[in-house]
Structure 1
Amino acid sequence: MNHFTRSTYQMVILCRFTYCPSPMQRILLYQWLEESLRSGEMVSEDLYDLKLDLEKEKTSETPSVPKPADGSVSNGNELSQGGSIRSPPQENAKENNLSEAISSPRISDDSRHSLGSGNASPGLSDITSKDGGLQQSSLIYNPPNLNRNLTEIFGKLINIYRALGEDRRSFSYYKAIPVIEKLPFKIERGDQVKNLPSIGKALQEHIQEIVTTGKLSKLEHFETDEKVRTISLFGEVWGIGPTTALKLYEKGYRTLDELKKEDSLTHAQRLGLKYFDDIKQRIPRHEVQEMEQLLQKAGEDVLPGVVVVCGGSYRRGKASCGDLDVVITHPDGKSHKGFLKKYVKHLKDMGFLKEDLIFSTHSEEGTDSGVDTFFGLCTYPGRDLRHRIDLKVYPREIYAFGLIAWTGNDVLNRRLRLLAESKGFRLDDTGLFPATHGSGGKRGSKGSTSIKLYTEREVFDFLGFPCLEPQERNL
């Protein structure tokens, strides 16, 4: 590859995106441009080629169906494999409530995620099933992952570095995994990934070692180092961060059973410890879909018209999820106030929510941007196995920001934040704020009022970032 300057790069952009109805034309994803500029040379185009058939698109009479990142589309049976939820033999009132919520008629795509129009704020009618996620839930993001031998080792390193508080190193492996997962071939040499995005020289060397020896010496060192192994284990307990994990190690604790004797643990940390094995189990997609329906029905029982969307890896089309990230709002911009307390009580009465980890309400006090939060544990109807669930209730005017943040993934969220900062803004789940200029190279503080944007598309467009469908956000 020839080294190229910024001016040459700009010419390449023009050539690549100038329309020319030729069979030789190639349309590339924007990441090709981003990675080429970052590396200072034109990286391989093969992994960024959209492979569009322009003539076929012109003549096709069938509307195109959005595809997940790996290009596959669900056959329609993947979401029904769990069938209906059956209550255990010893039925009681709470279990009957759960059964009713599941067996009720499915809310239509249009009514379920549309926020309607009426006297609502501008842009409310734009939140349709496409923006809310129900339509996308049938698109499974499940790449073949021919290189699981690599991604499993990188996944372990992610957890270790997170536990050690080394987020930057953890993030480097996090970015590399989806790139490797999508490859249509099995990696046999490190130089095969030389020009792939998010894989630098160090990761190439790791890959070469793994494909050659079947293991990685760095991981083996961590797994045999008592301190690293213990801190990593404690860091997997919900509510225990790197600092606390280190303190617990220094107190002499080495196992989770020993940790149960520690008096300084908070109530939430004790719950994380008690249900450690439960929380680590992933949830099959069809179960998440059924629980989302339950949550929407329960929300309607408490507040008609409420919008309940399960975000996270579920909304991004993953085949399984680590937890439930639920984003909630109401189209009238005011009825969300005080909703969470009633909603949590109703879900507990139904037997769905079991334990509280964090519960904070700000909508009625007008603090913390008016966002109400519940982090806790829930159960799939008919089982005792605990799953993590987060409920976030946003005022209508900042709902789009919350939906983007809680859909993810982390790579996309970080890119959007950096892009916002480059334009003089600060972005988080509560809005997009004009930022002051910091002194001495430090970040400026964010303003008090967010830019008014009501849909995810408006946020992407304002930042000048391609509007990715949820299943395309597994970057």
Structure 2
Amino acid sequence: MLTENKKNKASTASANATDTEVPGPDAEMLPTRKRRPEVAFPRGHEEVKFGDLTLYLVEKRMGKSRRNFLSNLARSKGFCVDDALSGNVTHVVSEGNTAQDLWNWLEEQGFGETRDTHVLNISWFTESMSAGRPVPVELRHYIQNPAVDHRSCAHPSDKPESAVSPYACQRRTTLDNHNKIFTDALEVLAENMEFIGNRGPCLAFRRAASVLKSLCAPLQHLEETHRLPCLGEHSKAILEEIFECGSSSRAEDILNDERYRTMKLFSSVFGIGPKTAESWYHRGLRTFEQVLSEPSIRLNRMQTAGFLFYEDISKPVSRTEASALKIIVEEAVICVNPHATVHITGGFRRGKEFGHDVDFIIKTPEPGQEDAVLPAVIQRFKTQNILLYSDFQDSTFDLSQLPTHRFEAMDHFSKCFLILKLKREQESCEREASRDWKAVRVDLVAPPLERYAYALLGWTGSTLFERDLRRFARLERGKLLDNHALYDKATKTLLPACTEEEIFAHLGLEYIEPWQRNA
């Protein structure tokens, strides 16, 4: 039975940062490896529709495989793409480089600023790919040379009203929140509105907090917020008070409110959502002891497990614990299907060090194999005596029912919500003088192979990033996106994708790395 707090797991976990290997002191004594010759990728005979412009994609930061993918995408749409920075190039496209680094590199290649050559960020390219034609070059697309004074190149009124997008899927939001004093207050207000059931203001406060999280520096003055999107009058009033007083009296009042504290306490239990928490509050219940001693309350299986293991599963799960759980899940999956792979999603994929649970997505190598994986994995956990609770939901996915028009519909893939025993470290056991295992929440999902990229995108989150990605697809691109597919309403077709990058390309969006989706 679905309980109310089984949220759409189209959000949560973290991107593993790439480690850079540092050469040791004897590195220069090692023989130099010969560089592999460039491999020419086969091309089709695409028709050139836009012969008056030639693109050059800068491989620096973009990487060879992504450059090849984007070059082939452009050629398939009729663009001319040059693999060399020649005199024929009219549009230089860069991704991920700072203006200074890019122009230093261009000058090393003998490239100078000319009136006929545009040096652009990737947003112009993705917008053009989405439109199927070159879109007009605007001021916001240019990557200006920091060494040149461009103040006379454009009138101030030509600048866009806001350099920050109203859509979270167009903002790169890392875990480095420079405006925590403001976002903490806004999120308290949002959570309170959620408990009250006031959905509109809840979302408004969350969007305001999300915009502030994406800023690369702390706000210094209230005037700086005037051109920021998604900041309504109520949010600005909160910011103004914090600027003047150092805190928000409204947020502090909520934190001290009995109803808010009781709702937060009850909804922290696995299986208890806002509706149940509110019902208990209105019945005069304020503590777990009162709930558990009330004869008229009948807890379901999930709620019973939530109270039974509350001491463990209410505590954050560390990245180290998540890695240990990944090994356990991988071993179980490989026993079932040696060719299947397990990938962490949710907050840990987005770079978080702690989370309330650990989400994994299982990728099977052939269509149809996903149906047998989870039941067999659950059975193995039982055999190992590490399964404390399981709620398995069989797949109800039906390709003929796509697209779904339910904006926040729970996906229909095979999934299970588990509580597993995780072995504690010896010193932890001695310190806490407790059992040698800890109960940890684990969620597994096994989508069909052809739906894997969409499921990975959805389960990675964050929740607001996914919401805005779907909103952007619908309002700006005329497409419907969910955990199952991307549907083009104009052509009435489902758009295939093997990777998240291809989904972003379909939407004409710059690719946002998982660790930059913490909206």
Corresponding position of 1:14: 138
Structure number having the greater helix percentage:
1
Residues 295 and 205 (structure 1 numbering): CA distance in 2 closer, same or farther, change over 3 Å? same
Residues 142 and 433 (structure 1 numbering): CA distance in 2 closer, same or farther, change over 3 Å? closer
User: What count of residue pairs does the alignment treat as equivalent?
Assistant: 353
8 Å contact kept, 2:164–2:228: no
Cα deviations across residues 174-193 of structure 1 (Å, max 9, x unaligned)? 33445444555554543343
8 Å contact kept, 1:194–1:204: no
CA distance in 2, matches of 1:453, 1:13: 28
Alignment of 1:312-461 (within 5 A): 312-356=346-390, 358-362=391-395, 371-382=413-424, 383-422=436-475, 423-433=477-487, 450-461=494-505
8 Å contact kept, 1:323–1:389: yes
Cα deviations across residues 345-365 of structure 1 (Å, max 9, x unaligned)? 223433444212x31112799
Alignment of 1:207-246 (within 5 A): 207-246=239-278
Larger Rg: 2
Greater Cα offset, 372-381 or 338-347? 372-381
CA distance in 2, matches of 1:318, 1:244: 29
CA distance in 1, matches of 2:213, 2:507: 28
8 Å contact kept, 1:298–1:347: yes
Cα deviations across residues 285-319 of structure 1 (Å, max 9, x unaligned)? 23323322332233112211112111111111122
Cα deviations across residues 76-121 of structure 1 (Å, max 9, x unaligned)? xxxxxxxxxxxxxxxxxxxxxxxxxxxxxxxxxxxxxxxxxxxxxx
Cα deviations across residues 192-233 of structure 1 (Å, max 9, x unaligned)? 433334434322221222343343222233344433443343
CA distance in 2, matches of 1:202, 1:171: 13
8 Å contact kept, 1:191–1:204: no
- Give how far 1:396 is off: 0.4
SS class of match (2:206): helix
Aligned-partner residue type, residue 483 of structure 2: D
8 Å contact kept, 1:151–1:177: yes
Corresponding position of 1:61: none
Residues 220 and 274 (structure 1 numbering): CA distance in 2 closer, same or farther, change over 3 Å? farther
- Give how far 1:12 is off: 8.9
- Aligned alpha-carbon RMSD (Å): 3.8
CA distance in 1, matches of 2:213, 2:144: 32
Q: Sequence identity of aligned pairs in percent?
A: 26
- Give how far 1:14 is off: 1.9
Residues 166 and 385 (structure 1 numbering): CA distance in 2 closer, same or farther, change over 3 Å? farther
Q: Say if 2:514 is the partner of 1:470.
A: yes
8 Å contact kept, 1:404–1:456: yes
CA distance in 2, matches of 1:15, 1:269: 55
8 Å contact kept, 1:310–1:327: yes
Residues 351 and 244 (structure 1 numbering): CA distance in 2 closer, same or farther, change over 3 Å? same
- Give how far 1:467 is off: 1.7
CA distance in 1, matches of 2:489, 2:293: 47
CA distance in 2, matches of 1:433, 1:12: 26
Q: TM-score, normalised by structure 1?
A: 0.64
Q: TM-score, normalised by structure 2?
A: 0.59
Corresponding position of 1:107: none
Aligned-partner residue type, residue 162 of structure 1: E
Corresponding position of 1:101: none
Corresponding position of 2:161: 42
- Give how far 1:406 is off: 0.4
CA distance in 2, matches of 1:280, 1:189: 38
SS class of match (2:359): strand
Alignment of 1:70-219 (within 5 A): 142-143=175-176, 145-181=177-213, 183=215, 185-187=217-219, 189-219=221-251
